[in-house]
Structures are given as C-alpha cells and as structure tokens.
Amino acid sequence: MKHPIRVATGVVCTVAAVAGIVTAANAQRRGGYNFASGKDIYEHVCQGCHMADAKGAQGAGAYPGLASNRKLQTPLYPVLIVLRGQKAMPSFSALSDEQVVEVVNYIRTNFGNSYPNAVTLDQVKGLRARAVQQQAQRPG
C-alpha cells in the first residue's frame, strides 16, 4: 500500500474545481455513463478500483493493476472483461459500444502500455451479445 495521504476533511477546496465533476456527474443520475473520451471514462468509472495511476490496490482483497499489464496485449481480453465482468469486477455493460472502444484503447495505450492494433467498434459490437447485464440493486 502507498503512503497514506492525510486529508483535512474540514477544508472545503475551491468550489470551481468541484463544479466540473458535479455538473458532469449530475447527468448520470438516471443510469448509464455520460463520458465520451477514454480518459474521462477511466477517471470516472475504472479509477474507482484500479486507481488513478492504474496500479491497483491491495487490502484483504486486491484490485489488479492495469499499468504495464502484459495481458492487455490481447485486444479483446479487456473488452470481454468490461462487457462481462469477472469475479469481484462487475460488468460495465451500461457503457455503449463506443465507450468500450474508447476506454479499452485508452488503457492499452497509457499507464506504461503501448499496444498496437486498436480495438474497433465492429469488434465490440461483435462481442456485445456476450455482455452481462449489471443489476443496480439498492443496498439496505
């Protein structure tokens, strides 16, 4: 685990910095994700578990790192994982085909990865039938 960063939770940071998040995010309330670029999708969805530096995290359980990850070499591997989920990772089939293309190509060309053969829209469309629907259940 990295060095803990101390957060002074009492301090309100500049409202302007948050305004962007809030406006973009408010649009999400009714389901689905409204982000277009691979970077935006990563930073608002995937980063929750794989972390901002894509190095993953470790506690009683772990999130694998996507940084310098040889498994991303196979273009359709991350596509299938996003559409179907795997073990503790829920499916993100609420992302559109275009969004899946964007985010997968983003992780395959950032964080120390630079794999050729960008994933195409047709490839994602071809795998869409295997997507697993994620049920958003309200906790108690």
Partner 1 sequence: MSVIADDATQSMSRRELMTLVGKVAGTAAMYQMMSSLALAANSTFDKRFSLSGAPKGASVLILGAGLAGMVAAYELQKAGYKVQILEYNNRTGGRNWSLYGGDTYTELGGITQHVQFDKGLYLNPGPWRLPYNHQGILHYCQMLGVKLESFNQANYAAYIHSQNAFGGKPQRYRTVKADFEGAVAELLSKSLQQSQLDQAVTKEDREILLQALRNWGALDQNYRYVKGRASSSRRGFDHWPGGGLDGEPTYSEPVALSDILKSGLWGEIAANDGIPEQPTLFQPVGGMGVIGRKFGELLKNVIRLNSKVVEIKQDETGVTATYVDTVKGGPPQTARGDWCVCTIPASILSQIPMNVSPAMQQAIYAIPYGASCKVGLQMKRRFWEEDEDIYGGITYTDQMNAIIAYPNTDYFSKGKGVLLGAYTFGPNASIFTSMTPQERINAAVQMGANIHPQYRTEFETGVAVAWHRVPWTLGCQGTWSEDARATHYKNICQIDGRIVLAGEHVSMIPAWQEGAVTSSIDAITRLHQRITKG
Please give the Cα distance from 42 to 52 (Å, whole number): 9
By the rule CB under 6 A, 139 interacts with ligand FAD: yes
Q: Which of 3, 6, 87, 138 binds ligand HEC (CB under 6 A)?
A: 87
Binding mask 70-109 for ligand FAD (x = CB under 6 A): ----------------------------------------
Which amino acid type is present at position 52?
A: A
Whole-number minimum distance, CB 64 to ligand HEC, in Å?
Answer: 4
Q: Which of 60, 88, 129, 136 binds ligand FAD (CB under 6 A)?
A: 60
Q: Which of 106, 92, 94 is nearest to 37 (CA)?
A: 106
Cβ distance to partner 1 smaller for residue 9 or 114:
9
By the rule CB under 8 A, 51 interacts with partner 1: yes
For partner 1, the binding residues in 1-30 under the rule CB under 8 A are: 1-13, 15, 17-19, 21-22, 25-26, 28-30
Q: Is 99 within 8 Å of 40 (Cβ atoms)?
A: no
Give the C-alpha distances (Å, rounded to integers) separating 27 from 13, 24, 30, 76, 117: 22, 6, 7, 30, 33
